[in-house]
Amino acid sequence: MPVTTDELLELHGRIRACTACPLHATRTQAVPGYGPVTARIMAVGEAPGETEDREGKPFVGAAGRLLTRLLEEVGLDRRDIYITNTLKCRPPGNRDPEQSEVEACSHFLDEQVAMLRPDVILVLGRHALGRLLPGAGTITRLHGQRVRRGTRVYVPLYHPAAALYNASLLETLQQDMRLVRGYLDAAEAERAAVLKAQAQQAISAEPPADQMALF
Ligand code: URA
């Protein structure tokens, strides 16, 4: 059963009220995530930065603007994507997340993934990679690849913040986004083929017209 916007908002409410780790004491506000409950794509970053902590939305600072641009370059609209982070609260001074913080926050991301059941999860940077695909390999090795785990499909990507001032990383990220577009198009074609086959099966299972009169 698909979840409703109300159910997702209820989860966002629990995230905003969370005091499970010390980050709640230094945050301005928690940043649960943003995007439609119907999103087929989910993007997971590291943690809110200063702008996100102030505005309560993920990826709204400089890295977020680059993310928006990278998505648009391959014809994707960020309003169709559910965007969130590994940590929902800003670490002071944007330091790296601590393992205890990742663990305390972990169940929220699990709930978000279980609710949305996205076709693909864009894994932005090494912290999200460590959280979502532990032991799979480094971002340098895995970026741009489709990684299947159970029923989920992940694509690790360099974090947009890393590409802000690094032209060659930016080019790699742009190439990887084109791969993402290809994966999505392939998934869409697969879904259309399944629906067509199901429709054909339903038609051939219908009794012939002369038998219909018996019903
Ligand atoms: N970097 C992140 O990882 N997440 C944000 O929301 C913003 C910057």
Contact between residue 150 and residue 186 where contact means Cβ atoms under 8 Å apart:
no
pLDDT(215) > 50: no
Task: Tell me how far apart the alpha carbons of residues 128 and 43 are, in angstroms, rounded to a whole number.
Answer: 10
Task: Please give the C-alpha separations between residue 145 and each of 161, 179, 191, in angstroms, as whole numbers.
Answer: 20, 8, 21
Rounded to two decimals, what is the model's pTM? Answer: 0.91
The minimum-distance atom of ligand 1 relative to the CA of 51 is 7
How many CA atoms lie within 13 Å of 36's alpha carbon, on the beta-carbon side? 10
- SS3 string of the chain? CCCCHHHHHHHHHHHHCCCCCCHHHHCCCCCCCECCCCCCEEEEECCCCHHHHHHCCCCCCHHHHHHHHHHHHCCCCHHHEEEEECCCCCCHHHCCCCHHHHHHHHHHHHHHHHHHCCCEEEEECHHHHHHHCCCCCCHHHHCCCCEEECCEEEEEECCHHHHCCCHHHHHHHHHHHHHHHHHHHHHHHHHHHHHHHHHHHHHHHCCCHHHHCCC
Per-residue pLDDT, averaged over 105-129, amounts to 97
What pLDDT score does 212 carry?
56
Q: Does the beta carbon of 133 lie inside 6 Å of ligand 1?
A: no
Contact between residue 160 and residue 49 where contact means Cβ atoms under 8 Å apart:
no
Structural domains counted in the chain: 1
Domain that holds residue 67: 5-212
How confident is the model over 3-52, as pLDDT tens digits? 999 999 999 999 999 999 999 999 999 999 999 999 999 999 999 999 99
What's the mean per-residue pLDDT of the chain?
95
Q: Does the beta carbon of 63 lie inside 6 Å of ligand 1?
A: yes
Q: Does the beta carbon of 66 lie inside 6 Å of ligand 1?
A: no
What CATH number is given to the structural domain containing 160?
3.40.470.10
Q: Does the beta carbon of 52 lie inside 6 Å of ligand 1?
A: yes
